[in-house]
Amino acid sequence: MEFNYQELIESVQDLVFALSWNGKILYVNRQFAEFVGRTKEQLHAFTLSDFVYLPDVDWAEENVRETLKGRSRTFEVRLLSQGNEPVYFSTNLTPMMESGEVTGVVGISRDINERMKLEQEITELKNFHESIIQSIQAGLITTDLLSRITSFNAGAEEILQFSAKEVLGKPLREVVSERIAQIFLQQDAKNGIPPNRETTLKTRTGNDVHIGFTVTPRLDDKGLRVGTIISFKDISQIKRMQAEVIRMDRLASLGVLASGIAHEIKNPLAGIKAMAQTLQEDSVPQDDRRVYLERIVRQVNRLDELLKTFFDYARPRPPMRKLHRIQDILHEVFTLVEKRLEEHHITWAFDIASETPAMFVDFHQIQQVLLNLIFNAVDAMEQGGELHISAMPYNGPGFHFPPLHMRKNRINYVEVALSDSGTGIDEKNLEIIFDPFFTTKSQGTGLGLSIVYRIIAAHGGEIAVESKVGWGTTFKLLLPTEEQTA
């Protein structure tokens, strides 16, 4: 029977060995000797540590010491083959007992190198896929069948302003709201085509972001659905650009229409005014009808002023641009508006950065822009208030269009900001305040901001507005500091 056990140990593919209390090798089977390239007799002069890969020696010796204390151990270690190549083994150590005392260690090591290589490949593949997912700019969220978030990439973090650590395991609705979660998780049950849609959601900070998104089912290796994959991208800037193009087309069309109408009305008005003035001259001062004639002339004059505004909008002259300092333009503007500001109990302040360069603009057109914006601010502060005007160099992304540094011809800009403490603008009106004929004033023409918009556009600049009802309004202008080339 003893011979059969010996043959069994010698025939197994695992490495079998026995160690003395001081770690010396007492016995190895044929597989162990062949693996390390030594004879059984030669191995008696070695310890197990002599065949352990150097980075794993401390770990192997610690497990041998623990086993000599009477505790069995199982651990993974790299042993050196006869070619001095490290190979992964799963090793089990059991204490040898004699008269109740531990006298040595019996070990069995099984080759797990292929398994470890496969695990390493799987880990590397997983890390590779995760690095791709994390590097894409689009947001990517995956959920399980209970709509709990299982992954949340860097793009999703940037758009939604949540960290992955905060949201993993949470229901999707707690991150994007119940309404958006329902939109995301709707599937086309009829033909299985993943929906590709657009919607607006609020970020963690409360900002509205317009996104385009695609929703697809997440399947396992058997083709069974285990969750949902949601890919989305911030398209707010694209939407703003589309709105700008539509607005420019509308402005151009209305400009042509306004020009034609103004021309057709101007001549009959001139005739009406001439006849009314002739009747005034022929009438006696005591004639009660003279009052009606005076009213006719006043109304014709008012219409004439309105037509002049139409012409300014419909046929603006090209800007005569030269280099001008913002300080000089503001000085001219405030000689015209200072008295009006004082009458309305409005205080004002300037904050012009010392390094602000001169702007390549039409002096009088930018003066008109500033006047229009200041007059709007005065109207918004009927009970008095504060007006603040600042200017500084600007090199950041544009307000509406692609970042300035990405444009074909990069130039520098000056940012001019006008802030008032007035009544503010209703959020629903912010997108249409530059449209022709839009006004909230009883006596307004609705062309002031349209003209401002066209002047800024003609200079190759940009204009943006920020406002909150009850808190005031800020208009920001970007004006070039040099000539733009085609």
Q: What is the pTM of this model?
A: 0.45
pLDDT means over runs of 10, the chain (486 residues): 65 88 89 91 90 93 92 92 90 90 91 82 70 70 88 86 88 87 66 63 82 84 84 78 63 60 68 77 72 79 70 68 92 87 90 92 90 89 90 73 45 89 83 68 64 86 87 91 66
Question: What's the pLDDT score for residue 419?
Answer: 93
Question: What's the pLDDT score for residue 246?
Answer: 64
Closest CA relative to residue 298, chosen from 278, 273, 275, 281: 273
Selecting from 1.10.287, 1.10.3470, 3.30.410, 1.20.58, what CATH number does the domain 239-314 have? 1.10.287
Question: What's the pLDDT score for residue 190?
Answer: 40
Strand duo 346-352 + 385-394: pairing: parallel
Identify the burial level of 282 via C-beta atoms within 10 angstroms of its C-beta, where 0-12 means exposed, 13-18 middle and 19 or more buried.
Answer: exposed
Delimiting residues of CATH 3.30.565.10 domain(s) in the chain = 322-480
Query: Tokens standing for 27?
Result: 């016995």
Q: Give the Cα separation of 332 and 334 in Å (integer).
A: 6
CATH topology (fold) of 322-480: Heat Shock Protein 90 (3.30.565)
Closest CA relative to residue 358, chosen from 312, 318, 405, 391: 391
Question: What's the pLDDT score for residue 414?
Answer: 92
SS3 393: strand
Delimiting residues of CATH 3.30.450.20 domain(s) in the chain = 2-111, 136-234
Selecting from 2.60.110.10, 3.30.460.80, 3.30.70.141, 3.30.450.20, what CATH number does the domain 2-111 have? 3.30.450.20
Q: Give the Cα separation of 383 and 386 in Å (integer).
A: 11
CB atoms within 10 A of CB 162: 19
Delimiting residues of CATH 1.10.287 domain(s) in the chain = 239-314
> What is the Rg, in whole angstroms, of the alpha carbon atoms belonging to the chain?
41
Q: Give the Cα separation of 77 and 86 in Å (integer).
A: 9
Query: Tokens standing for 417?
Result: 């900001």
Question: What's the pLDDT score for residue 408?
Answer: 45
| Amino acid found at 195 | P
Q: Which CATH class is domain 136-234?
A: alpha beta
